[in-house]
Amino acid sequence: MGVVYGKSIGKGEEDKNLNLKQLNARVDRISIDGLARTKDDIITKAVNDLFKVNNFEEMLQQSHTVKTKLESLGCFQNIVVHVDTSTGPTATPDCGYEVTFIVRELKQIAGGVHTMVGSNNEGLLVASAKAPNIFGRGERLQGEFSYGNKQTKNFNVTLSKPLLTKFNASVAGSIFNHDQEWPMSKYKIRENGVVLDFSFFSLNKLKHSLQWEGTIRDLGVGNRYAAFEIRENAGSTLKSSLRHILTYDTRRSLIFPSSGLLTKITTELAGLGGNVGFFKNDMLLQVDVPLMTDFVLQGTIGGGYMLPVDTDKKSIIVCDHFFLGGPVTFRGFDMRGAGPSTDGTFVGAKMYWCAGLSLFTPLPFRPSVGGFGEYFRTHFFANIGNIGNLSMAEGLPSLLHQARLAWGIGLALRLGHFARVEVNYCFPTWTQDGDRAVHGVQIGLGTSL
């Protein structure tokens, strides 16, 4: 929150038990200093509720709320709030105040180059450019191009606009091009499409994203050893789908959270046009519990299933399936290295589940406390899961049949606030024929704990 200044409110200011609700207050005037491109109507809509306050505490709280609304527009680099007593012939006697918001608008065009982590356990070099507040009401045009060390290429352009509602809503539209290769599944895929998104918060930190996606996908054979199922799915498909993403996240840190809860549920219905049809659900639940100083126990459970839709006219191809395995998602197995395979080609499945338990601790003897040592964590882990043609109706025995289990110990290094590197020594205990288990050292780069 910005610094709030106020003049003397009388003798009671030295009373620690002073009730600010008992001090009458009325906002006579609101000033916004520093506006250039931003339109007056969107600012007026953001600050109007400040005129409805009746006491001093409400005024301070509402000033903070207005500041948060202005920040959510994505127009300003900095916002400072000043509260002063009102003066002049129109001032309310004894309880009139003026609130001033001093703002600094973002540059018209900004850009840069940075790194991030992709879904295929690869590093990406990202070049981006953005034009915030292009029409004066919080609209943002942003473009990104990324290239990965595994030859992944992504390009997208997004136009977004915040909506000043009680639900903190926003709308966005994107066009994208993705080129990616999956060696374990021996296919490569190019996707060109459009995504329309409407997002809002129904409760504090409970976010909904309603999306429509239309994508032309061109799946190609990765090499001559690809299984027949990959060759059968090769070619172009058109997917038109509706998607709802529900997210609840109370973690303060994404890389080494010390406490908090993350819940993410994704529901997708494909088949509203195009030649791909399925109903798909995917769920992730993560809980971080602090045990003592910097000792955190983390539990994770996830799962998903998909059902075909209109099988006479629609199909499901291999890239729509679920996959299991990876050095930071399901440790002890290669990326996509657990699950159904044909001739050494991992083809995924229509259902999976997994669960994990991790203990993150500081380095032994706490070297460089408060310094470089804080970037490291010792990591003890165990994960169990299964993927295939499973049946929830048959109960626990069906879900556990041919399950995979691995455990181990390792070292995790935080890279800024966007990713981490893990070096783990893995002991795969339960494996199945065809799995690509990792016995020994496994190195991974990612964001998911």
Calpha distance 82→86 (Å, rounded): 12
Partners of residue 380 on adjacent β-strands? 359, 409
DSSP state of 297: E
Question: Which residue numbers in the chain have pLDDT < 50?
Answer: 1-14, 449
Give the residue from 434, 425, 378, 441 showing the smallest Cα distance to 404. Answer: 434
pLDDT at residue 164, rounded to an integer:
80
Q: The dihedral of CA 434, 435, 439, 443: what is its sign? A: positive
Q: Give me the residue label for tokens 């338990």.
A: 357
Alpha-helix runs per DSSP H in 73-190: none
Q: What is the CATH number of domain 26-105?
A: 3.10.20.310
- Residue 346: per-residue pLDDT: 94
Task: Judge whether 38 and 46 are in contact, CB under 8 Å.
Answer: no
Of residues 323, 324, 322, 344, the one with CA closest to residue 333: 324
Q: What is the pLDDT of residue 127?
A: 94
**CATH fold for the domain made of 163-447:** Porin (2.40.160)
Task: Of 151, 150, 170, give the one whose Cα is nearest residue 160.
Answer: 170
pLDDT of residue 17: 62
pLDDT of 367: 66
- According to DSSP, the β-strands at 96-105 and 26-33 are parallel
In the chain, where the domains are located: 26-105, 163-447
- Predicted confidence at residue 449, as pLDDT, reads 46
Confidence (pLDDT) at 395: 62
Matching residue, tokens 């999956």: 182
Q: Which residues contact 427 (CB under 8 A, 6 or more apart)?
A: 332, 406, 407, 408, 439
Surface-to-core class of residue 63, CB atoms within 10 Å of its CB (0-12 exposed, 13-18 middle, 19+ buried): buried
The tokens describing 114, both together, are 């940075």
